[in-house]
Amino acid sequence: MKKTIFTVLFSASVLFVSCDGDDVEDAACDIAEDALQVSVEAAIEAYEADENETTCQAIKDTVEEYRDLECTSELAYADELVLLPLDCADAGN
């Protein structure tokens, strides 16, 4: 256990020492992007399983959060969003 903790701390220190601030921000953004991408995909799957207002809004909210990251495109998931009703209250009708 001590070796694992030491390895993690050593790796992290090497990462921060060898990278400038931009590299650290890029890595953090990439991690956030990956996590939100999983959330968007889960929201899409939930909507496909049960098209309703809640699952529709979940897609819109997670895509908006994903797009708000500095390292993602403002057009990400545009193809998926265009398939949703403009008003999620109309979902499933």
Q: What is the pLDDT of residue 26?
A: 82
Q: What is the pTM of this model?
A: 0.71
**Contact status, residue 83 vs residue 47, Cβ threshold 8 Å:** no
- CA 59 – CA 82 distance, rounded (Å): 11
**Domain boundaries, given as residue ranges, for the chain:** 20-90
Average pLDDT over residues 66-90: 95
**Contact status, residue 54 vs residue 60, Cβ threshold 8 Å:** no
pLDDT in tens, 42-59: 999 999 999 999 999 999
Phi, psi dihedral angles at 15 (to 5 degrees): -60, -50
43 closest CA partner among 55, 29, 31 = 55
Output the average pLDDT for the chain.
Answer: 84
pLDDT in tens, 15-24: 554 454 566 6
- CA 13 – CA 89 distance, rounded (Å): 50
